[in-house]
Amino acid sequence: LAKTTQPISMDSYEGQEVNITCSHNNIATNDYITWYQQFPSQGPRFIIQGYKTKVTNEVASLFIPADRKSSTLSLPRVSLSDTAVYYCLVSASDGQNFVFGPGTRLSVLP
């Protein structure tokens, strides 16, 4: 299983763009990269998923360089409600495991 490494915590201010980078040096050819968000006492919520290059949806963008050894989740203009833990996961589509690391605790300050 490809192991992921993320910063333990990050601080930002309202209205700023936040970029969280995840390292996954041992990613396999058939692995996807997925990001989840979790608020206290709730289950994780899917944010975005990608395989290569750039993926964008209504809440975030995911940048994946050509070597796929890292990925960056970009949250545009964060608000206080974006304060949460963000998890980066790497898993094959037919994989039999789904490994959450400790995640990145994002604190958005007013």
Partner 1 sequence: DAGVTQSPTHLIKTRGQQVTLRCSPISGHKSVSWYQQVLGQGPQFIFQYYEKEERGRGNFPDRFSARQFPNYSSELNVNALLLGDSALYLCASSLEWGFAYEQYFGPGTRLTVT
Give the interface with partner 1 as residue ranges (CB under 8 A). 32, 34, 36, 41-46, 49, 85, 87, 89, 91-103
CB of 110 to partner 1, least distance (A): 25
User: Using the 8-state DSSP alphabet, how is residue 81 labeled?
Assistant: G
CA-CA-CA-CA torsion for 73, 34, 6, 85, nearest 10 degrees?
80
CB of 4 to partner 1, least distance (A): 10
The nearer residue to partner 1, 1 or 21, going by C-beta atoms, is: 1
- Collect all residues with Cβ–Cβ distance below 8 Å to 86 and sequence separation of at least 6: 6, 20, 35, 36, 37, 38, 47, 73, 103, 104, 106
The nearer residue to partner 1, 8 or 110, going by C-beta atoms, is: 8
The nearer residue to partner 1, 44 or 55, going by C-beta atoms, is: 44
